[in-house]
């Protein structure tokens, strides 16, 4: 009997780890030692696809027998990507910009198998509409949620009711890993039945 294929998630994100676990596949985590491209003026689809591939390729080169899944997510508004805020002041500024508006959350996915020469890429986009936010609500939110490791300075799954009026598209994409697209890319590779 053939051993189960080895799957590695090339991400430090605990949210991606939790989401991928929902698909029921055993996997391990190896964080890629790469510098992500985060120019806010880059087309967001290009940026997240590039970063997902960068992470997956780095890990796959070091684990050539494994299947490696890379992912990257950003928030996009007014022609600019809102990546992870550098500090609380930048997180506050991002929430002010998102207040009362609809933005898009893009995630890029890259699946690699170095030894087999397998390369597949996918992506997802979701829209999120924020309530108009007062300074008091922004302060309350920043007091409740650690936002510095989250694109756009927020996490929909953590007290999102304070911020979010509505959303369309994949909810798991907004968290950081679109499960529908992930399931599809893994199924096409024969990793999911």
Structure tokens belonging to residue 56: 């997956």
- Residue of 72 and 38 predicted with greater confidence: 72
* Residue found under tokens 């697209």: 181
Domain tally, the chain = 1
pTM, full prediction:
0.94
The predicted-structure confidence for 60-70, as pLDDT tens digits, reads as follows: 999 999 999 99
Strands 67-77, 7-10: pairing kind:
parallel
91 in any annotated domain: yes
86 in any annotated domain: yes
CA distance 182 to 124: 10
Structure tokens belonging to residue 129: 């509409």
What CATH number corresponds to the domain at position 56? 3.90.950.10
11 in any annotated domain: yes
pLDDT-wise least confident of 27-31, 34-38, 94-98, 129-133: 34-38
Maximum pairwise Cα distance, the chain: 60
pLDDT attached to residue 38: 87
1 in any annotated domain: no
Kindly name the residue from 43, 72, 78, 121 that is annotated as catalytic.
72
In which domain, by residue range, is 177 found? Answer: 7-188
**Residue 161 bears catalytic tag:** no
2 in any annotated domain: no
Going by pLDDT thresholds of 50, 70 and 90, the confidence category of residue 47 is very high
- Residue 174: strand, helix, or coil: helix
24 in any annotated domain: yes
**pLDDT at residue 2 is higher than 80:** no
The predicted-structure confidence for 70-127, as pLDDT tens digits, reads as follows: 999 999 999 999 999 999 999 999 999 999 999 999 999 999 999 999 999 999 999 9
79 in any annotated domain: yes
Mean of pLDDT over the chain = 95
30 in any annotated domain: yes
């Amino acid at each position: 009997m053939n051993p189960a294929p080895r799957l590695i998630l090339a991400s430090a994100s605990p949210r991606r780890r939790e989401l991928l676990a929902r698909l029921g596949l055993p996997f391990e985590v190896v964080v890629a030692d790469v510098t992500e491209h985060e120019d806010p003026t880059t087309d967001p689809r290009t940026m997240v696809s590039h970063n997902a591939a960068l992470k997956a390729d780095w890990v796959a080169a070091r684990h050539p027998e494994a299947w490696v899944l890379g992912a990257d997510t950003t928030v996009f508004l007014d022609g600019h990507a809102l990546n992870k805020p550098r500090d609380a002041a930048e997180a506050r500024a991002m929430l002010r910009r998102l207040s009362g508006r609809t933005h898009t959350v893009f995630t890029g996915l890259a699946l690699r198998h170095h030894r087999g020469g397998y390369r597949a890429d996918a992506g997802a986009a979701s829209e999120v509409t924020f309530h108009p936010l007062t300074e008091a609500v922004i302060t309350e939110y920043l007091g409740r949620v650690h936002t510095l490791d989250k694109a756009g300075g927020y996490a929909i799954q953590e007290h999102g009711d304070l911020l979010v009026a509505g959303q369309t598209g994949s909810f798991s994409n907004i968290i950081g890993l679109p499960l529908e697209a992930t399931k599809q890319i893994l199924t096409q590779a024969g990793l999911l039945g």
